[in-house]
Amino acid sequence: MNKKGLAILMRTRMRPNNDLTKLSLSPLPNRMQSNPQESSGRVMEHSSDDAIRRLDCSGNAERDFDIVRGWMHSAISMKEMEGLDAVLNDFSKGYFSLSLDNRRELLRLLAKEYDFNRTQVRVLMKQYLGLELPSGDNAQSAGQQDDTPLSAFYHLERNLRHALKPTYEVLFERLNTHPGGLGFLSILRADILSILEEENTASLRALDTYLKEKLSMWLSPAVLELHQITWDDPASLLEKIVAYEAVHPISNLIDLKRRLGVGRRCFGYLHPAIPGEPLIFIEVALLKNVAQTVQEVLWDDPPIPESEATCALFYSISSTKPGLSGINLGKFLIKRVITLVKRDMPFISTFATLSPIPGFMQWLLSKLASQLNLDEVEVATRTPGDESVSTFWENILEPEEERLLIESSQDFVTGKNGMEILFKLLTLSNHEWISSTKLLSALKRPLMRLCARYLVEEKKRGKALDSVANFHLQNGAIIERLNWMADRSVKGLLQSGGIMVNYVYRMEKIEEYAHSYFSTGQIHSSPDILRYVETKKLQDESTE
């Protein structure tokens, strides 16, 4: 084994089931805990040793909290810039030394006590509402030549803009210009998001919204570097790829090297303030045709010569920083990669994905459970001779689907109807149903049809309910094809019953599709998808 491979093995835990999709309040991953300087982008390089030693030796959680709170206050309130770097270092390292409860308390305090002054805002608003706008000829001349009559408005508007800025903006701005501060801010936001999962308070929501807006501005595509990640990159960068691959975990060094070798590409966005660590990365397979199963991409079949490829398949996109959740760096990354691949390989004509459908099984099982519960209530409360059916009742299986399912499932489960049988089959602990050819045949039609319905019809706030579908649709993709038993892994079966989906990016339609989805929620689908979703409305909406 060469030195690079050994370094990656020594520094990275190969985690076949790593799941970085769920945010949790730090403690950070083990490698970060052991070296907090590294985890926050070397925020603490110039930290005051004496100040930090007071925390290390204290053993008093309340006293430690007060010390770190004092550093935070100083970082916000200091007027002189001399000594600011040392204070920011102390605050950053001190934050990592706090217990989880104290970090929560510090962020609550930051959200409430360093918000803007609402009393001052109310005073200014009253003054503003008390002003009278120029009228008639005076208004016309004021708008075109002399703005003196409006000077009081301009003055108050400037004061209002200033008053509406929360005090914690100072901390964010100063950290952003501080070495390693941008990485530290992303960790702060990850902790804020974790707290919001448990206590959705208005002040913390406002803090999160403000920090998200700042991060979105500071991480604009104009300042991000698109980097092709290869085996020649430093081991410290490659270990990030292994650790943060969230879609198809990297099992060993051979797997990693193959994903960076012939017929494969890996691109990441890097920021100069967080050197050597991609904020987000995408993996690409160069293929003759759009892949229908994950095995075609990940297994050990030798890749085709790149000159024979006609399809660039995006099979995994992963973020390395939970604190950047909701900041759509992936949209810009995909468009940049398409442009770059098309420039370097003009023979590539198709840009597609092989994507998971993470919310399908959860939606389907919830749908089945609610219908079964409704059926039980109906039976229990129905009076003799009453054959009416609740308006909420829906048999989501077609008659022929239900008949085949009942006939094929007798050796596995029993039930009073097809929906109960389907629910029991899909919740078998060992997924025994995938071992039966007969059952697979009976399940294919209903699961594919319901999956198409889930992707195309089920929405939240006017947009696709499935998170991955929403991501690609808002980027301008079209739902092209469903693939039966494309991912037989435990994760694939739990998420989507083994089904995967191809989204296609048609270069001449990307902006049009993205705009129509954003403005009206229109989901563009191929005729193959619409054949599963048999409604006239969807056929009329299709552009195909």
HEC string for 26-46: CCCCHHHHHCHHHHCCCCCCC
Helix, strand or coil, per DSSP, at residue 312: strand
Residue 471 DSSP one-character state: H
Can you read off the two tokens belonging to residue 515? 């705009």
DSSP of 190-212, one letter per residue? HHHHHHHTT---HHHHHHHHHHH
Report the relative pairing of strands 350-353 and 311-319 from DSSP bridges: parallel
Length of the chain: 544
CA distance 408 to 432: 13
Q: Is 236 a catalytic residue?
A: no
Distance CA 234, CA 7 (A): 10
The active-site residue, picked from 186, 318, 319, 355, is 355
- Spot the catalytic one: 472, 516, 524, 525: 472
DSSP 280-308: EEEEEEEESS--SSTHHHHSSSPPPPGGG
- CA-based torsion, 344, 349, 350, 351: positive or negative: positive
Q: CA nearest 211: which of 173, 180, 177?
A: 173
Q: Which of 326, 325, 327, 250 is nearest to 283 (CA)?
A: 250
Asked if 93 contacts 43 with a C-beta cutoff of 8 angstroms, the reply is yes
Q: What is the rounded distance in angstroms from the CA atom of residue 235 to the CA atom of residue 277? A: 11
Residue 81 phi/psi, 5-degree rounding, is -80, -20
| Other CB atoms within 10 Å distance of the CB of residue 200 | 9
Instruction: Please give the structure tokens belonging to residue 498.
Output: 């083994």
Amino acid at 87: V
Q: What is the spatial distance between Cα 311 and Cα 481, in angstroms, rounded to a whole number?
A: 15
Distance CA(95)–CA(450), nearest Å, equals: 48
Q: Please say whether the beta carbons of 229 and 275 come within 8 A.
A: no
Give the span between the Cα atoms of 519 and 110, in whole angstroms.
36
The Cα angle at residue 266 between residues 282 and 215, in degrees rounded to 5: 45
Q: Which residues pair with 351 in a beta bridge?
A: 312, 505
**Cβ-based burial of 458 (10 A; exposed 0-12, middle 13-18, buried ≥19):** middle
Return d(Cα 99, Cα 191) in angstroms, integer. 12
Helix (H) or strand (E) holding 185: helix 181-196
* 3-class secondary-structure state, position 458: coil
H or E element: which one contains 239?
A: helix 235-244
Active site residue 355: yes
Written as six digits, the tokens of 419 are: 């929906």
Query: What is the 3 state secondary structure string of 85-126?
Result: HHHHHHHHHHHHHCCHHHHHHHHHHHHHHCCCCHHHHHHHHH
**Mind telling me the catalytic residues?**
355, 472
